Structure 1
């Protein structure tokens, strides 16, 4: 699909149980063992990094949400600070781009422990499909972003299948873009929502899709 301001795919109807998972055991148990691996290939990672170049200028204070041991930020860009929030402390401690680290399970507590309008940008990389209450989390992201600040959500066609929500499994790539666009609309505090296809090698793994929105206000 080409870059476009609104997905041409009809908005998905969300059935009961859309955000259930095959594995409903505590996420802390599943993510207890650190995974020092990347979950998309090098070409897709480069596409994420290029998006961050475009949306996160030098000197920004950034939030890396659902972070791990690597943030895929452009190595040549200096930021004022990068806060990482994730589930595994060992992974966060390994991440050299983070100057602040927060361990939190967003599926049990979707409220972010940050002040309103405190970040210049936020990235969520290949993790949006694991949120069981994504609208609340995204609304919180809109709260902690400064007005006009971008949220860059990237995803591919790979996941931990037992932890990804049911609706993600039910949709194709275009449906995933439409779903994430819709979740941002439902959050109610984002504008200029755009779906992007940044797949480096069309028709081959790993594709890379993104949805970007800008915070309306810090409230």
Structure 2
């Protein structure tokens, strides 16, 4: 049954995981590795370079030791929120580092309209409260600010939610668009295929939406 507004519901069972143990334990050991291959990294940096505002304030959500932000963006400020302090401390582009488990506490620690853009890179599959997190991203974005959610076909399967594991790459884009819709206050999301993948290479996609600029959306 659709929820009010005609949206398909986000049922609790969609966010079950094979490993329901404390995420803080899973992420306690730093992983100073990249989770997509070099070609995908180059494609993502180029895409972010074209999409994100130069000299802007950027939130790197579910961050690690690499943010994939190209140097030419020259951001005024970058905040990274992640699960492992050592990984965040190794990230040279971050001006602020916050260790927080969004599955336990989805409220972001910044005031409204703090950022011009936000990115979530190859991590959205681990969110068990995605609509709440996306709503918080909307809150901390300035009107017109962009939220880019990039994904590939790699993950830690025991920590990925059931809905993600059950869908293919194309349907992952539709799932992320549904998260945006449930959060409210975003313009229509657009999905991009940045890299088709193929034998021995990682595919790469990004779903992008902007915070609506209408008065009263905070």
TM above 0.5? yes
Contact 1:59 1:79 in 2 (8 A): yes
Change beyond 3 A, Cα 1:13–1:205 = farther
Instruction: List alignment gaps of at least 5 residues for structure 2.
Output: 1-6
**Secondary structure class of the residue paired with 1:29:** helix
Q: Which moved more, 1:42-51 or 1:132-141?
A: 42-51
- Normalised to the residue count of structure 1, the TM-score between the two structures is 0.91
CA separation in 1, counterparts of 2:8 and 2:43? 26
- Normalised to the residue count of structure 2, the TM-score between the two structures is 0.91
Which residue in the other structure is 2:148 paired with? Answer: 152
Contact 1:12 1:178 in 2 (8 A): no
Contact 1:21 1:164 in 2 (8 A): yes
RMSD: 1.6
Q: Map 1:29-178 onto structure 2 (within 5 A).
A: 29-178=25-174
Contact 2:164 2:172 in 1 (8 A): yes
Greater relative contact order, per chain length (Cα 8 Å cut-off, separation 6+):
1
**Secondary structure class of the residue paired with 2:182:** helix
Which residue in the other structure is 1:205 paired with? Answer: 201
Change beyond 3 A, Cα 1:192–1:16 = closer
Which residue in the other structure is 1:5 paired with? Answer: none
Runs of 4+ in 1 over 2 A off after TM superposition: 11-16, 200-205
**Secondary structure class of the residue paired with 1:192:** coil
Contact 2:144 2:210 in 1 (8 A): yes
**Secondary structure class of the residue paired with 1:65:** strand
CA separation in 1, counterparts of 2:154 and 2:180? 21
Residues 33-64 of structure 1 show CA distances to partners (whole Å, capped at 9, x for unaligned) of 00000000011111211121112122100000
Aligned-residue offset at 1:15: 5.0
Contact 1:14 1:167 in 2 (8 A): no
Change beyond 3 A, Cα 1:156–1:118 = same
CA separation in 2, counterparts of 1:62 and 1:185? 22
Q: Which moved more, 1:193-202 or 1:117-126?
A: 193-202
Residues 142-184 of structure 1 show CA distances to partners (whole Å, capped at 9, x for unaligned) of 0000000100100000000000000001001111011101110
Q: Which moved more, 1:11-20 or 1:106-115?
A: 11-20
Q: Which moved more, 1:164-173 or 1:52-61?
A: 52-61
Which residue in the other structure is 2:186 paired with? Answer: 190
Contact 1:21 1:166 in 2 (8 A): yes
CA separation in 1, counterparts of 2:168 and 2:189? 20
